[in-house]
């Protein structure tokens, strides 16, 4: 999938790509279903080529984890197209399980037709989103979601945080004017980091008018796995909605 020059330019990724075990059903989904939904690094980024005719908004979710939010949004909005990006293979397999209903212990079919399932408006890039940025035309997406990015709270790791001027420049570029950029986090260091970095960047306008607008889940929200863990452990998430100016 990677062309040589893209591999040479690959940015350093600090998270996990693989769990210790990929179980049978998940491996089946990665081998048989993922190729049908996969966005490759070399194909043209074109709304109709990706989703067919008639798609309204196109939305991006970066680091979708186990895919609950991405799947929930896509199910609630069949009129939209969703591009989900996740490096962690087990997370990608989990999303495919949500779409297909195939779980560990299910009878595995001989053939799988990814586009025959009720939710068929998700495409997947199973690598680092920074490799994809260069392929995405300006003003392509209506919405971009970055939900509970790894906080890297220690100062010595702060350079690894996804919200940084370089990535913001790309997100700003690929969003339509007025497009939504939603960031959620439960980490106090990352909350401050987002506010400071977004203010300094100045290409986005923060939509919040009062505390209610960012201390509570947005109306169209679907809980993520990481958020549920944070809630169990007593951390309160915040939700920052920005619009591209
Ligand atoms: C803390 S988890 C949150 C997952 C999910 N959004 C949730 O709320 O449950 C962050 C995820 O972002 C993914 N990730 C981090 N950097 C990424 C990148 N550059 N491209 C794609 N995925 C990335 C990680 O693999 C990880 O699954």
**Mean pLDDT for the chain?**
92
| Residue with tokens 């260091």, as numbered in its chain | 189
pLDDT at residue number 9: 63
Does the C-beta of 19 come closer than 6 Å to ligand 1?
Answer: no
Mutate to test the pocket of ligand 1, among 63, 73, 128 (most ligand atoms within 8 A of CB): 63
Question: Domains of the chain (ranges plus CATH)?
Answer: 20-244 (3.40.50.150)
Residue 212 alpha carbon to ligand 1 centre in Å: 26
CA distances from 79 to 58, 88, 121 (A): 9, 28, 8
State which ligand 1 atom lies nearest to the alpha carbon of 149.
10
Positions in the chain whose pLDDT score sits under 70 = 1-9
Sheet hosting strand 238-244, strand order edge to edge:
122-125, 81-85, 58-62, 141-147, 175-185, 238-244, 204-206
Q: Do residues 134 and 10 touch, judged by C-beta distance below 8 A?
A: no
Which of 214, 219, 218 lies closest to 238, judged by CA?
214
Atom of ligand 1 nearest to the CA of 68: 9
Q: Which of 46, 150, 186, 241 is catalytic?
A: 150
pLDDT of 6 reads 43
pLDDT value, residue 13: 85
46 catalytically annotated: no
Question: Which one, of 204, 179, 193, lies nearest residue 149 by Cα?
Answer: 193
At residue 40, the pLDDT reads: 81
Beta-bridge partner residues of 206:
242
Q: Indicate the pTM of the whole model.
A: 0.94
């Amino acid at each position: 999938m990677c062309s040589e020059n893209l591999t040479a330019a690959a940015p350093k990724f600090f998270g996990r790509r693989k769990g210790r075990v990929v179980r049978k059903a998940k491996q089946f989904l990665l081998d048989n279903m993922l190729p049908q939904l996969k966005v490759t690094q070399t194909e043209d980024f074109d709304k109709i080529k990706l989703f067919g005719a008639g798609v309204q908004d196109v939305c991006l979710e970066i680091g979708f984890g186990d895919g609950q939010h991405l799947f929930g949004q896509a199910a609630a909005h069949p009129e939209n197209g969703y591009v989900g990006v996740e490096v962690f293979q087990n997370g990608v397999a989990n999303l495919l399980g949500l779409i297909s209903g195939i779980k560990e212990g299910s009878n595995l079919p001989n053939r799988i037709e990814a586009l025959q399932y009720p939710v068929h408006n998700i495409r997947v890039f199973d690598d680092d989103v920074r490799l994809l940025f260069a392929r995405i035309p300006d003003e392509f997406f209506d919405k971009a979601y970055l939900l509970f990015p790894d906080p890297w709270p220690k100062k010595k790791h702060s350079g690894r945080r996804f919200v940084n001027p370089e990535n913001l420049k790309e997100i700003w570029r690929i969003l339509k004017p007025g497009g939504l950029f939603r960031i959620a986090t439960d980490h106090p260091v990352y909350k401050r980091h987002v506010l400071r970095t977004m203010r300094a960047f100045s290409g986005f306008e923060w939509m919040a008018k009062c505390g209610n607008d960012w201390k509570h889940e947005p109306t169209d929200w679907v809980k993520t796995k990481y958020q549920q863990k944070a809630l169990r452990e007593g951390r309160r998430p915040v939700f920052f909605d920005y619009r591209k100016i």
